[in-house]
Amino acid sequence: MPKRGASTPPVAENDTVSLLPSQRKKAKLSSPNPVVCFVGKPIPVTEARAKWPHRYPSEGKKKGSSASISKEATGEDNEVMLATCHYRQAKIDGVVFNLHDDAYVKAEDGKPDYIARIVELFATVDNGMYFMARWFYRAEDTVIKSHGDLVDKKRVFLSDVKDENPLDCIVSKVNIVKLTPNVGLTTKERKIPPCDYYYDMTYTLPYLTFSNVVNDTVKSESDASSTISSESGSSGCFNGANLANGKTIKKNSSNSSEWALLDLYSGCGAMSTGLCLGASLAGVKLVTRWAVDINAHACKSLKQNHPETQVRNEPAENFLALVKAWAKLCEEFSLLGSERSESGPDMEEDEIDDEDVNVKTEESEDHSDSEDFEVEKLLAVCHGDPNNVKKSGLYFKVRWMGYDSSYDTWEPIDGLSDCKDVLKNFVTKGYKKKLLPLPGDANFICGGPPCQGVSGFNRFRNAEAPLEDIKNKQLIVYMDIIDFLKPKYILMENVVDILKFSGGYLGRYAIGRLVAMNYQARMGMMAAGSYGLPQFRMRVFLWGARPTEKLPPYPLPTHEVVSRGFVPTEFEEITVTYNNKETCKLGEALLLEDAISDLPPVTNYEKQDEMNYGTKARTEFQKYIRLKKSEMVGGNMGTAQSMASRILYDHRPLELNKDDYDRVCRIPQKKGANFRDLPGVLVKDNKVEWDPSIERVKLDSGKPLVPDYAMTFVRGTSSKPFGRLWWDEIVPTVVTRAEPHNQVILHPAQNRVLTIRENARLQGFPDCYKLCGPIKERYTQVGNAVAVPVALAMGYTFGLACQGLSDDKPLATLPFKYPNCLVRSSFAKTEDNDEESS
Ligand code: SAH
């Protein structure tokens, strides 16, 4: 009789564990042994050998102990237990279990029993009685962990983790039903037959993936992506891209409709810009229809580069309240279901005042009580407190009969009860033109909710309850917006700190919310440098896809990976990278010189926002990043006028004050130079100290050449203050500030900090992307951005997935490199080159 107690639980017991099977603990039990035996005749030898050949190796292959063979012999990950025969039934304490029955399996004392599907019943050569368990995970056994209560208690997830366990670990039967993916979304709406548990998704460890069940009992699903319509489409999008998996995308004309994107926390729009470019490379027309950001300058930048986008300058929480109120209004006016424009929310000037969709708070006279005023029309709508009267609600911007725009005011909806027709007219037009998204209108929502409450710079972090920190509240708002608008796809970007802080609390919450809302989901970390930039910049990306859609894969790197940051527990595994670099041809890492060496010299005092290049591109990167909008894929990035001349925008630095400028002029123009090279500073054991033999050097102003803060920064161990970059370097992360006091940001050969444009180049912005606002605001927009080539690569894999062209693997190879792919012909050229070299 085998000893009871060797069951292998799906997760280990303590909180810090990884879900990797190899790291799980074995249960140790002392409860009485149940009576177990196999029932019926063994499965005929030929059938058993055909089904489980690894358990019946030929004599020559047997190595190691007689009861098992090593992994080298089988090519499997674990030692394989050898079988004498397999059975279809077993009896445990008088209860008969069939193959493929689901069962509770004994866990450690005090823990709920594990849940498994019995996928094999077999006797071993040393007379053991075993079953092969394929484990189900409860939500709390997955990466969701402590947020398990977000998910319906009866819902479990089938894993692909299997292992052998003694038969006597089985406790009792459990009734688990498989449901088709829940398209109706909420659990309440769903008809669940009587059962102990149900499942509609699998959970697999690579990239912490929750996805539709494609293979739970037998391998049945044929690869739906292998038959691709080969109609030679003729949409405005790029056609005929050759995919790495040998498939050819030909745009199917029946599938040519546009995908509407909502960019939340849009900043200046880098993420959506990259996504749309990447989607167009896969033959999908993705268009940013709506964008929301609290920063007016960022909104202006986005609008300037994307005239097709309805840009809303308001807090996301107000936007959420607004879309809910708007949906109600549309319902009240019986508009839902009536005809609408396909072209998106561009309202004609006189219908909707585009500019003034933005909430303005400047003083305007209050005319609401005056009888002289009659409402001519409504111009815009918002939810909030546009008049600063501490009364939040739904407001409309009114144009008064006989008055011009300087008399426009924001009026609460209650004040408009006398002009129902005007209101109806506005809502009807807004509905038709999709001024705001209704549930289902936004096919794709992207964005990175700011979570400043997890930043390592923040000394007041709330580790116990990170979601109660107001600084992390936007993650909840973001998920609530998804819950209301129900897009087919979501892509969330965030800093790696959401996986580091408080055991990954916020990252787990984000996945938990998505899964609870019935999205398929997966999580990966990507380094911008891996996609053709001289910047490391590691970020987390979370995909979500409705069960009706294919979950997109992560794009594998195209360029040499620089290094890896440390991330705890199971999150270590989710860095998007090749397992074996030998098998792929990665481009060489890009260096600072490759990205910026062609830009004309400017001084610390440069004041022009626009100038001529006056220089030629020296590298491939420079050639392609200089493309005009008209030359670029997608072709929807600007007006004809803005393409007329080739002008370099935003190539000016943050102007340093005279003292800092004098300091910068004294930093040698050599690799690794910084304040430590100034007179009066000694370095001992990588720590700075004052040189006692030298009197403290003063600037013309009388201030010290070496400021105290440089000496004390990171207790004297940092060489960042006034650090100069060098041509052969890769910057760690472009940040939002440009001051040289605590970061390496000086130009290698000019006495100034990097210009806005130079930073923008390091983030992969095409040169034609012009930014708005004061200098510091423009640096902020650039530093906040999702690196364009990363977003572009994600847009491409989205494009594959939404056409059903990706397979179920979590990673996909890109058939192009950035920024060459920005132009159609060079996309093809890159492929040719690749083919030649392969
Ligand atoms: N994804 C953007 C960068 C976003 S940075 C890109 O790729 O360019 C985060 C943005 O969130 C900032 O622009 C900030 O202004 C905005 N933001 C912060 N709090 C907000 C809120 N409550 N509502 C809307 N936007 C907010």
Give the tens place of pLDDT for each residue, 288-335: 999 999 999 999 999 999 999 999 999 999 999 999 999 999 999 999
pLDDT at 220 over 90: no
From ligand 1's centre to the CA of 747, what distance in Å? Answer: 28
For tokens 């979590």, the residue is 810
pLDDT at residue 282, as a whole number: 96
Q: What is the mean pLDDT of residues 608-636?
A: 89
Read off the pLDDT of residues 251-299 as tens digits, 9 standing for 90 and up.
Answer: 433 345 899 999 999 999 999 999 999 999 999 999 999 999 999 999 9
In the prediction, which pLDDT does 629 show? 83
pLDDT at residue 159 tops 90? yes
Judging by DSSP bridges, how do beta strands 393-400 and 409-412 pair with one another?
antiparallel
Catalytic residue among 268, 330, 451, 821: 451
Task: Name the region of 678 (left: φ>0; alpha: ψ -120 to 50; beta: rest).
Answer: beta
Average pLDDT over residues 375-383: 97
Pocket test for ligand 1, best of 264, 265, 445, 452 (most atoms within 8 A of CB): 265
DSSP code for 99: T
The first and second tokens of residue 327, run together, are: 């949906």
- How many A from CA of 293 to the centre of ligand 1? 5
Q: What is the pLDDT of residue 462?
A: 82
- Interval 524-570: pLDDT, tens: 999 999 999 999 999 999 999 999 999 999 999 999 865 556 666 67
Atom index in ligand 1 nearest the CA of residue 318 equals: 23
Substitution candidate for ligand 1 out of 262, 266, 314 with most atoms within 8 A of CB? 266
The per-residue pLDDT of the chain, averaged, comes to 85
Report the distance separating Cα 492 and Cα 214, nearest Å: 25
**Which residue lies with its CA nearest to atom 12 of ligand 1?**
267
Q: Which atom of ligand 1 is nearest to the CA of 268?
A: 8
How close is the Cα of 269 to the center of ligand 1, in Å?
10
Give the closest residue (by CA) to ligand 1 atom 1: 266
Question: At 750, is the pLDDT very low, low, confident or very high (cuts 50, 70, 90)?
Answer: very high
Ligand 1 centroid–CA 316 distance in Å is: 9
Instruction: Give the model's confidence band at 2: pLDDT under 50 very low, under 70 low, under 90 confident, else very high.
Output: very low
Q: Is 637 left (phi over 0), alpha (psi -120 to 50) or beta?
A: alpha
Residue to mutate, 784, 788, 794, ligand 1, most ligand atoms under 8 Å from C-beta: 784
Q: Give yes or no for residue 761 having a pLDDT over 80.
A: yes
Rounded to whole angstroms, the Cα distance separating 379 from 386 reads 14
Nearest CA to ligand 1 atom 9: 265
Say how many Å lie between the CA of residue 310 and the centre of ligand 1.
Answer: 16
414 C-alpha to ligand 1 centroid (Å): 31
User: Running DSSP on this structure, what letter comes out for residue 243?
Assistant: P
Distance 654 CA to ligand 1 centre (A): 22
The pLDDT assigned to 151 comes to: 95
pLDDT value for 566: 62
Residue located nearest, by CA, to atom 21 of ligand 1: 315
Tell the residue nearest (CA) to atom 23 of ligand 1. 315
Instruction: Give the position, in ligand 1's atom list, of the atom nearest the Cα of 780.
Output: 13
DSSP 755: P
Does residue 90 contact residue 37 with C-beta atoms inside 8 Å?
yes
What DSSP string runs through 20-61? -GGGPPPP---SPPPPEEEESPPPPHHHHHHH-GGGS--GGG
**What's the 448 CA to ligand 1 centre distance in angstroms?**
7
* Domain 258-322+441-588+793-803 indexed as CATH 3.40.50.150: yes
Kindly tell me if the per-residue pLDDT of 204 is higher than 60: yes
**Cα-to-centroid distance, 268 and ligand 1 (Å):** 9
Q: Which residues line ligand 1 (CB under 6 A)?
A: 265-271, 292-295, 298, 315-316, 447-448, 450, 474, 784-786
pLDDT over 70 for what percent of the chain?
79
**Per-residue pLDDT, 747:** 98
Residue in 437, 442, 436, 438 with CA at minimum distance from that of residue 490: 442
Identify the residue whose tokens are 């989205």.
798
Residue 178 has pLDDT above 60, yes or no: yes
**Model pTM above 0.85:** yes
pLDDT tens string 666-687? 999 999 999 999 999 999 999 9
Q: Which of 293, 323, 472, 782 to mutate to test the pocket of ligand 1 (most atoms within 8 A of CB)?
A: 293
Report the pLDDT averaged over residues 473-496: 97
Which CATH fold topology does 597-789 show?
Answer: DNA Methylase; Chain A, domain 2 (3.90.120)
Q: How confident is the model at residue 64 (pLDDT cuts 50, 70, 90)?
A: low
Identical fold, 21-242 and 258-322+441-588+793-803? no
Looking from the CA of residue 269, the nearest atom of ligand 1 is 8
The domain spans of the chain are 21-242, 258-322+441-588+793-803, 345-432, 597-789
The pLDDT confidence band at residue 33, using thresholds 50, 70 and 90, is confident
Contact 366, 409 (CB under 8 A): yes
Please give the pLDDT value at position 457: 62
Cα(450) to centroid(ligand 1), Å: 6
Count CA atoms closer than 13 A to 457's CA, side-chain side.
6
- Specify the pLDDT at position 425: 96
Ligand 1 atom closest to 446 (CA): 1
Longest dimension (CA), the chain: 101
In the predicted structure, residue 463 carries a pLDDT above the cut 90: no
Residue nearest to atom 11 of ligand 1 (CA): 265
* Torsion angle of the four alpha carbons 303, 596, 649, 493, in this order, in degrees rounded to the nearest 10: 10
Q: Nearest to residue 318, comparing CAs of 430, 481, 442?
A: 481
How many angstroms is it from 298 CA to the middle of ligand 1? 8
Indicate which residue's Cα is closest to atom 22 of ligand 1: 315
Q: Among the atoms of ligand 1, which is closest to the Cα of residue 493? A: 1
CA of 628 to the centre of ligand 1 (A): 27
- Whole-number Å distance, alpha carbon 465 to ligand 1 midpoint, is 23
Beta strand ranges found along 179-331 (DSSP E): 197-199, 201-204, 209-212, 259-264, 286-293, 310-313
Please state the atom number of ligand 1 nearest to the C-alpha of residue 316.
Answer: 23
CB 26 within 8 A of CB 13: no
Classify domain 345-432 at the CATH class level.
mainly beta
In DSSP notation, 300-349 reads HHHHHH-TTSEEEES-HHHHHHHHHHHHHHHHHTT-TTS---SS-S---T
Burial of 771-809, coded b for 16+ CB within 10 Å and e otherwise, reads bbbebebbbbbbbbbbbbbbbbbbbbbbbbbbbebbbbe
As a whole number, mean pLDDT of residues 423-441 equals: 97
Contact status, residue 176 vs residue 196, Cβ threshold 8 Å:
yes
| Least confident among 382-391, 447-456, 590-599, 779-788 | 447-456
Which atom of ligand 1 is nearest to 786's Cα? 7
Is 268 annotated in the active site? no
Nearest to 435 by CA among 484, 380, 396, 376: 380
Q: Which amino acid is at 710?
A: A
pLDDT the model gives residue 469: 84
> How many angstroms is it from 336 CA to the middle of ligand 1?
31
* Residue 25 to residue 21: CA distance in whole angstroms: 9
Mean local confidence (pLDDT), 741-760? 98
Rounded to an integer, the average pLDDT of 224-253 is 36
Cα dihedral sign, 719-720-724-730: positive
**pLDDT category of residue 577 using cuts at 50, 70 and 90:** confident
The closest-lying atom of ligand 1 relative to the alpha carbon of residue 293 is: 25
Under a CB-based contact definition with an 8 Å cutoff, are residues 799 and 284 in contact?
yes
CATH level 2 (architecture), domain 21-242: Roll (2.30)
Q: Do residues 4 and 29 lie in contact, with contact meaning Cβ atoms separated by under 8 Å? A: yes
Tell me the C-alpha distance between 337 and 315, whole Å: 29
Pairing of strands 129-138, 114-124: antiparallel
State the CB neighbour count (10 A cutoff) for residue 5.
18
Residues contacting residue 745 through CB under 8 Å, at least 6 positions apart = 723, 725, 738, 739, 753, 754
Half-sphere exposure of 660 (CA within 13 A, CB side): 19
pLDDT at 123 > cutoff 70: yes
Q: Which atom of ligand 1 is nearest to the CA of 273?
A: 7
Q: Which of 237-241, 647-651, 824-828 has the lowest mean pLDDT?
A: 237-241
| Ligand 1 centroid – CA 784 distance (Å) | 8
In 3D, which of 695, 685, 701, 746 has the Cα closest to residue 720?
Answer: 746
pLDDT in tens, 35-61: 999 999 999 999 999 999 999 988 665
